[in-house]
Amino acid sequence: MNKSGITVFCDFDGTISRRDIGYNIFKHFSHGKNDELLPDWKSGRLSSRECLLKEAEMSPVTAEELFPFLDQFKLDDGFPAFEKKCSENNIDLIILSDGFDLYINYMLKKNNLDRLSLITNHGWIENGFINIEFPHKNKTCTKCGSCKGERIREYRNANRETTRIVFVGDGYSDACATDEADILFAKKDLEKYCQINDIEYWPYDTFYDVIRQLEKMKILSES
């Protein structure tokens, strides 16, 4: 039961984690070959599904190699405090990612945050490669792997008590979510996207900035 009527959706890569872990996995294990795909993905010629599958094909990796590689990555220092504040204020917090669960679950568990809800694609290692499946079907969006805009609409339809949506993101894979957010926090490529498309947003660097802004707006209580 969502008593506050507010639900926060957060992107994972580059938002909850400081760096884009999905991208760095493929960059490292494809020896930089995945960068050849970026221009086509950014321009929309390559969908996120096609891009993820191609990146995985280029990147041989075993579990013994992947998990130690992940240990270099850190979460935003302010995220645990943000998560605690949301919980104290009866605000639901859901992670929405167009990466995949294999590395996100590992990072959440390592940081004692694996109680959080996560909506993303499914990845697993088999025969020396990462396999990826897309359990969340998109009705209209052809660009995203798991479209964040469609996931938020599904959530709204199933949870009528939710009156306001907060979204926090940093990249092009968050573009579809901007239509659904009542309060939007953006940095990096998502900030550029908002400026070009004349979308209202709050700039931020870390989750401490998000906390401060939501306190000012009386959405989070001040401590």
Q: Which residues bind Mg ion (CB under 5 A)?
A: 11, 13-14, 170-171
**214 belongs to the binding site for Zn ion (CB under 5 A):** no
- Minimum Å gap between C-beta 214 and Zn ion is 25
Q: Report what 171 binds from Mg ion, Zn ion, none; CB cut-off 5-8 Å by kind.
A: Mg ion
Region from 60-68, 107-115, 146-154, 181-189 binding Zn ion, contact rule CB under 5 A: 146-154
Helix (H, G, I), strand (E, B) or coil at 53: helix
Q: Which tokens in the block code for residue 148? A: 């964040």
Start-to-end Cα distance in the chain: 24
Rounded Cα gap, residues 220 and 119, in angstroms? 24
- Minimum Å gap between C-beta 176 and Zn ion is 3
Cβ-proximal residues to 207 (8 Å cutoff; 6+ apart), any chain: 76, 77, 78, 79, 81, 82, 168
| One-letter amino acid for residue 179 of the chain | D
Rounded Cα gap, residues 63 and 103, in angstroms? 11
Q: Report what 180 binds from Zn ion, Mg ion, none; CB cut-off 5-8 Å by kind.
A: none
- Minimum Å gap between C-beta 223 and Zn ion is 36
Rounded Cα gap, residues 71 and 171, in angstroms? 23
- In the bound state with Zn ion, the residue whose beta carbon lies nearer, of 144 and 210, is 144
- In the bound state with Zn ion, the residue whose beta carbon lies nearer, of 76 and 150, is 150
**52 belongs to the binding site for Zn ion (CB under 5 A):** no
Region from 27-35, 44-52, 176-184, 202-210 binding Zn ion, contact rule CB under 5 A: 176-184
Buried b (16+ CB within 10 A) or exposed e, 195-211: eeeebebbebebbebbb
- Minimum Å gap between C-beta 192 and Zn ion is 17
- The sheet with strand 6-10 has its strands ordered as 129-133, 117-126, 92-100, 6-10, 164-169, 183-186, 202-203
Identified binder of Zn ion from the candidate list 46, 81, 113, 141, rule CB under 5 A: 141
Q: Report what 104 binds from Zn ion, Mg ion, none; CB cut-off 5-8 Å by kind.
A: none
- In the bound state with Zn ion, the residue whose beta carbon lies nearer, of 58 and 118, is 118
**176 belongs to the binding site for Zn ion (CB under 5 A):** yes
Residues in contact with Zn ion by CB under 5 A are 141, 143-144, 147, 176
